[in-house]
């Protein structure tokens, strides 16, 4: 059974700092991995999608990497801003057991202090 773990559970940084969020998964048989942002009480906003054949994706100040063989992904946020404060979730789409399902980690709550 696929399990997704995110470390740390919470992170507080000063504005302007570069930071890395970690995601690990137990089964490397995945279609893709997706990073989401969630503001309190709101829906999920898709940030980046990495296909299993890709190593990284970039969007603005965000860079996500994928090492499928080791079951790890990182989300790098450059020059963090208070507006980046949110919970960040990673999710994998498993090859087996129903690829329609997204298996989520519990998220990392990020606070960027002005």
Partner 1 sequence: DTEVTQTPKHLVMGMTNKKSLKCEQHMGHRAMYWYKQKAKKPPELMFVYSYEKLSINESVPSRFSPECPNSSLLNLHLHALQPEDSALYLCASSQYPANTEAFFGQGTRLTVV
Contact residues for partner 1, defined by CB under 8 A: 31-32, 34, 36, 41-46, 49, 51, 89, 91, 93, 98-102, 104-107
Nearer CB in complex with partner 1: 9/78: 9
Report the distance separating Cα 81 and Cα 92, nearest Å. Answer: 27
Please state the closest distance from residue 106 (CB atom) to partner 1, in A.
6
Task: Work out whether the CA dihedral 79, 9, 103, 66 comes out positive or negative.
Answer: positive
Torsion angle of the four alpha carbons 78, 13, 84, 7, in this order, in degrees rounded to the nearest 10: 90
Please state the closest distance from residue 3 (CB atom) to partner 1, in A.
12
Please state the closest distance from residue 79 (CB atom) to partner 1, in A.
25
Query: Chain-centre distance of CA 21, in angstroms?
Result: 7
Nearer CB in complex with partner 1: 24/32: 32
Q: Please count the other Cβ atoms lying within 10 Å of the Cβ belonging to residue 24.
A: 17
Please state the closest distance from residue 98 (CB atom) to partner 1, in A.
6
């Amino acid at each position: 059974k696929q399990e997704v773990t995110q470390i740390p559970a919470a992170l507080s940084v000063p504005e302007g700092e570069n930071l890395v969020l970690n995601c690990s998964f137990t089964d490397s048989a995945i279609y893709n991995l997706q990073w989401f942002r969630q503001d309190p009480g709101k829906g999920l906003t898709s940030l980046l999608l990495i296909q299993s054949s890709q190593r990284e994706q970039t969007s603005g100040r965000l860079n996500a990497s994928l090492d499928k063989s080791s079951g790890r992904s990182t989300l790098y946020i450059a020059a963090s801003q208070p507006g980046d404060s949110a919970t960040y979730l990673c999710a994998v789409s498993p090859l087996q057991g129903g690829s329609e399902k997204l298996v989520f980690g519990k998220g990392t709550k990020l606070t960027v202090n002005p």
